[in-house]
Amino acid sequence: MARLWSEMVLLFVILPLAVFYWVHQVADMLLVILAAIGVYCLAILLTDTQFQRNKLWLWNNNKTHIKSAFKCFVPCAAIIASVVYVIAPERFLQWPLNDPWMWVMTLMLYPVISVIPQEIIFRTYFFHRYKRILPSKNARWALSTFVFGFAHLVYGNWFAVLITWCGGAVFGYRYMQTNSMPVVVIEHTLWGSFLFTVGLGSYLVIA
Widest distance between CA atoms in the chain: 52
SS3 165: helix
What would the mean pLDDT of 53-79 be, rounded to a whole number?
Answer: 90
- Residue 71 has a pLDDT of 94
Q: What is the DSSP letter of 126?
A: H
Specify the range with the lowest mean pLDDT, choosing from 71-80, 137-146, 160-169, 197-206: 197-206
- Residue 35 has a pLDDT of 97
What would the mean pLDDT of 68-81 be, rounded to a whole number?
Answer: 96
Q: How would residue 119 be classed by pLDDT, with cut points 50, 70 and 90?
A: very high
> Hey, CA dihedral for 200, 125, 17, 146, is it positive or negative?
positive
Report the mean per-residue pLDDT for the chain: 95
- Residue 122 has a pLDDT of 98
Q: 147-161, pLDDT tens digit by residue? A: 999 999 999 999 999
- Residue 61 has a pLDDT of 73
- Residue 129 has a pLDDT of 97
Q: How would residue 207 be classed by pLDDT, with cut points 50, 70 and 90?
A: low
Q: Is 80 exposed, middle or buried (0-12, 13-18, 19+ CB in 10 A)?
A: middle
Amino acid making up residue 40: Y
Q: What is the pTM of this model?
A: 0.95
**Secondary structure (DSSP) of 26-70:** HGGGHHHHHHHHHHHHHHHHHT-TTS-GGGGT--TT-HHHHHHHH
- Residue 76 has a pLDDT of 96
Whether 59 has a pLDDT exceeding 90, the answer reads no
